[in-house]
Amino acid sequence: MNFYDLNIEPAVFLAPMAGVSDYPYRQLVREMGVKLLYTEMISAKGYVYGNRRTSELLKFDKGKQGAIAVQLFGEDSEFMARAAAGITQEYEVDLIDINLGCPAAKIVKTGAGSALMKTPQLAAKVISETVKAVQIPVTVKMRSGWDDNNLNAIQIAKLAENSGAAAVAVHGRTRQQFYKGQADWQIIKNVKAAVNIPVIGNGDIFSDLDAEAILASTNCDGIMIGRAAQGNPWIFKEIIYYLKTGNRLKKINNIEKINFALRHLKLSVDYYGEDYGIPIMRKHLAWYLKGMPNASEMRNKINQLTDYFKLIKLLNNYKNDLDND
């Protein structure tokens, strides 16, 4: 099945991010016009062994979420194939994505994530076995390479294509870089020139103008937003509008940002309950507040609260103070 048979234009996506791209946040992003949403990364072995936390990550409302991609990580091709097959049978999933990009030490030390880029033949086996196990598109998310001496994204992308992958997403940084330095868009361009499947560009896309620039400079088929979407779900609406019309939306103000934060908070508490929903929102609220007056003081107050209604009151009072400035 072709990647674009999913009817996901415009090809602007939220990157899978552990602890960020959860169900509550995905609802906000969907409202911004994103047609295909990725879950947080799922452990293939965790799914096969029935891990409770893994099953929580796979909860989504198909009716509200539209097209859904599940990102799997793992270094064992048998477990990856079993997980992909089981998930597609159990859930209404539109796409399986294979993680070859996560730089986290706890993932890499198992041989999964970006560590698979050091073992191209194993990566190819993981991809091909997963493709054989399902009837839906399988895509691959990778980095430019392990380090500056091993920039093998082109090799991995060709192996992915030959193994049946429907598309690849390339983050223009090595694993060694993590998220430091500047993303290398040239390697995304080189991957695009080397394969015949769609290529999604990722890395240092912080605005609508950045989105236009990476598409123009790399000829990639779509873009994926990661850190720039943290506390900033409206970035998707800005980018999609600009790519469609050539016009830029007016930037939202701080009061509108707090309104987003309040909505996000409600979605989180409704979904997780207070005991888990509030702690998980603390980092999100810090991102929403970034650059606002007295943000540090607000973060300290937020981190001390465990009561939902007190937190709402705090944010509303802060919003009123902003309105009176």
Mean pLDDT in residue range 82-109: 95
Determine the average pLDDT of the residues in 113-117.
Answer: 97
The whole-number pLDDT of residue 52 equals 81
Nearest partner of 195 among 224, 167, 223, judged by Cα: 167
**pLDDT tens sequence across 29-40:** 999 999 999 999
Domains defined for the chain, CATH in brackets:
3-245 (3.20.20.70), 254-324 (1.10.1200.80)
Distance CA 95, CA 316 (A): 40
63 has pLDDT over 70: no
- Whether 63 has a binding-site annotation, put simply, is no
Which active-site residues does the annotation give?
102
Quick one: which H or E segment has residue 141?
strand 138-145
59 versus 312: the higher-pLDDT residue is: 312
319 is in an annotated binding site: no
% helix, strand, coil for the chain, step of 5: 55, 15, 35
Q: What distance lies between CA 205 and its chain's CA centroid?
A: 13
Task: Count CB atoms within 10 A of the CB of residue 97.
Answer: 28
- Whether the Cβ atoms of residue 144 and residue 178 lie closer than 8 Å to each other: no
**Closest C-alpha among 129, 1, 165, 156 to residue 67:** 1
pLDDT band at 204 (very low <50, low <70, confident <90, very high): very high
Nearest 5 degrees, angle CA 279-CA 281-CA 286? Answer: 110
Whether the predicted pLDDT of 127 surpasses 90: yes
Query: Is residue 300 predicted with pLDDT exceeding 80?
Result: yes
- Give bridge partners of residue 138 from the DSSP assignment: 96
Is 226 a known ligand-binding residue?
yes
| Cβ-defined contacts of 47-53 (< 8 Å, 24+) | 47/72, 47/83, 47/86, 47/87, 48/79, 48/82, 48/83, 48/86
Residue 16 DSSP symbol: P
Cα distances (Å, whole numbers) of residue 167 to 138, 171, 214, 223:
7, 14, 17, 12
104 is an annotated ligand-binding site residue = no
Does the pLDDT at position 239 exceed 70? yes
pLDDT digits over 69-94, tens only? Answer: 999 999 999 999 999 999 999 998 99
Least confident of 47-61, 108-122, 185-199, 267-281: 47-61
Q: Calculate the alpha carbon distances from 234 to 14, 26, 208, 214 in Å.
A: 11, 12, 11, 19
292 is in an annotated binding site: no
Share of the chain above pLDDT 90, in %: 89
- Residue 141 is assigned to a ligand binding site: yes
**What single-letter amino acid sits at 60?**
F
Taking CA atoms, 73 is separated from 24, 98, 209, 223, 296, in Å, by 22, 6, 32, 21, 36
pLDDT at 111: 96
| CA–CA distance, 48 with 80 (Å, rounded to integer) | 9
